[in-house]
Chain A
């Protein structure tokens, strides 16, 4: 139990560093945004799971679940608005109008 928890915490910490590295290395704000919000949240999910395995009591469990729930509820809103603002700031409106339609019709 404890070894799995440490593994999850270590993996979460490593993913957090990789997410931060993505923010450094990716070429523009929109792709950096993928790294920061998505990989960062995945890292935190692993950290919270690991913490729950280390201390499997109810008073920890509901607090950890609440953190994860708030993150999951606010992340799409922040990510969506951030992407829109980044598009406006970088002046990519034309690229958006030219975006190709992919995939078949839903059936």
Chain B
């Protein structure tokens, strides 16, 4: 029951994050696409993620990819790091906070491996 609730919460948060950052991506395109607009501040970044199984990490990577504005390029299971390419690197704290707040709690309930922590 706890797992079901976690899965539903995760899904709802994921849908919300997709829509919110979808419109943010559209804003970036409009801002940098008009004549004379500066190119967006793209960057490669690494983010640590909570201890979880390989399936959980793959799902986390897919969710981060589906959330507009960030694409998973690589998942390092040994160091527990996601390698991301982000379109708007001006507010990296919000990006990390979004992953920690929206995705990790649910995934840890479903796929967590606390022994590895």
A interface with B by C-beta (< 8 Å): 15, 18-19, 21-22, 24-28, 30-31, 33-35, 37-39, 41-42, 72, 75-77, 79-80, 83-84, 87, 92, 95-96, 98-106
Contact = CB atoms under 8 A, between A and B. Distances in A.
Contacts of B73: 80, 83-84, 87, 96
Q: Is the interface of A mostly helix, strand, loop or mixed?
A: helix
Interface residues of B, number: 47
A46 to B, nearest CB: 9
Contacts of A100: 45-46
Nearest to B14: A72
B112 to A, nearest CB: 11
B5 interface: no
B29 interface: yes
A18 B74 contact: no
Given A26-B39, A42-B18, A79-B65, A102 B81 contact: no
Contacts of B67: 38
A105 B48 contact: yes
A76 B40 contact: no
23 contacts: A18-B29, A19-B29, A21-B33, A26-B32, A27-B39, A30-B85, A31-B40, A35-B25, A35-B29, A38-B69, A39-B68, A42-B25, A72-B66, A75-B66, A76-B61, A87-B85, A96-B44, A96-B73, A99-B45, A99-B46, A101-B47, A102-B45, A105-B48
